[in-house]
């Protein structure tokens, strides 16, 4: 089953602190419905005009992030457990992805969804406590309407509780055109779940670039694979060797058929 290994991880909840404005009449968190909503968001275009304020107090819009893949990670800053752990691990995997794809190949947006508490200042404190982060990793805060619109687009579900929030532990990969491409679940996940989709997006971009440099880079990305023993990505020469053997075999068969045709013609 496609999500056999990730469904349980997706249902993890952050319960580290109290929500800013818990609603006693709010519906309870339903893990099954939350996963369905998350998967239904794949293929959905995010509104580029959605605006938020980053951790430095600068106004930003989603349109600024188009042109490169974007990872969006919703958190709330008063969480003492899941959200900090999730962010720290996501940074480790993002570092791994940059080593494969190169610096500046994608961006990350950590967005606070507890609008009563998650101000730009709180987002900056959250980042500082777990940094440093690269310049292309933004921590953002926005008003309730904007956050609700963004999270609906992402398929991200949460519900206030007396402990804090029950919510999806979810990172959403958005392509260069602002379309939801993949969901990754859990505090800790296998790096290929995020890095490999980023590779596919990068390979698609290289395929559209008709240059020798783009072709060479495409080959490098295609042959860079995850080694579960070391927990890192490495260039796999066996893929190149297999390709060369395949080309030689194909060429040999073609030559044999051509000579046979010449003899009988």
Round to whole Å and give the CA distance between 199 and 89. Answer: 19
Q: Which residues contact 200 (CB under 8 A, 6 or more apart)?
A: none
Residue 249: predicted pLDDT: 64
Positions of the chain with pLDDT lower than 70, given as ranges: 1-27, 205-227, 233-263, 265
How many CB atoms within 10 Å of residue 129? 11
> Cβ distance 75 to 126 under 8 Å?
yes
Is the domain defined by 7-189 classed in CATH 3.90.1530.10? no
Q: Dig out the tokens for 52 from the structure.
A: 């938020």
Q: Which residues contact 121 (CB under 8 A, 6 or more apart)?
A: none
Q: Name the helix (H) or strand (E) containing 51.
A: strand 51-54
Q: In this predicted model, what pLDDT tens digit does every residue of 52-89 receive, in sequence order?
A: 999 999 999 999 999 999 999 999 999 988 999 999 99
Residue among 166, 204, 2, 146 nearest 81 (CA): 166
How many CB atoms within 10 Å of residue 78? 21
Which three-class secondary structure state does DSSP give residue 182?
strand
Residue among 181, 194, 171 nearest 42 (CA): 181
Round to whole Å and give the CA distance between 68 and 104. Answer: 8
Residue 232: predicted pLDDT: 72
**What one-character-per-residue DSSP string does 61-114 give?**
EGGGGTTS-EEEEEE-TT-SSHHHHHHHHHHHHHHHHHHHH-TTS-EEEEEE--
| Cα–Cα distance list, 129 to 26, 57, 78, 85 (Å) | 31, 18, 13, 12
What's the pTM value of the predicted model, to 2 decimals? 0.76
CB under 8 A, 24+ apart: contacts of 233-242: 233/96, 233/99, 233/100, 233/191, 233/195
Residue 131: predicted pLDDT: 80
Residue 128: predicted pLDDT: 95
Which three-class secondary structure state does DSSP give residue 47?
coil
């Amino acid at each position: 089953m496609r999500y056999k290994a990730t469904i349980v991880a997706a249902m993890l909840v952050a319960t580290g602190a109290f929500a800013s404005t818990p609603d006693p009449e709010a519906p309870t968190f339903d893990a099954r419905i939350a996963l369905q909503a998350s998967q239904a968001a794949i293929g959905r275009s995010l509104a580029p005009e959605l605006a938020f304020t980053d951790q430095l107090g600068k106004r930003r819009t989603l349109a600024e992030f188009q042109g490169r893949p974007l990872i969006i990670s919703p958190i709330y800053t008063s969480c003492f457990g899941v959200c900090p752990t999730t962010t720290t691990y996501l940074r480790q995997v993002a570092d791994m992805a940059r080593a494969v794809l190169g610096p500046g190949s994608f961006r990350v947006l950590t967005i606070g969804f507890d609008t009563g508490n998650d101000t730009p200042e709180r987002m900056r404190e959250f980042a500082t406590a777990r940094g440093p982060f690269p310049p292309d990793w933004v921590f953002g805060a926005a008003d309730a309407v904007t956050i609700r619109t963004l999270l609906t687009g992402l398929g991200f579900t949460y519900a206030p509780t007396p402990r804090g929030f029950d919510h999806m532990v979810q990172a959403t990969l958005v392509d260069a055109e602002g379309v939801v491409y993949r969901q990754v679940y859990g505090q800790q996940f296998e790096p290929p779940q995020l890095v490999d989709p980023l590779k596919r997006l990068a390979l698609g971009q290289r395929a559209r670039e008709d240059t020798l440099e783009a072709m060479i880079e495409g080959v490098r990305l295609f042959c860079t694979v995850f080694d579960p023993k070391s927990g890192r990505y490495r260039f796999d020469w066996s893929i190149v060797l297999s390709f060369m053997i395949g080309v030689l075999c194909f060429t040999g068969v073609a030559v044999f058929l051509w000579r046979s045709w010449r003899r009988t013609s």
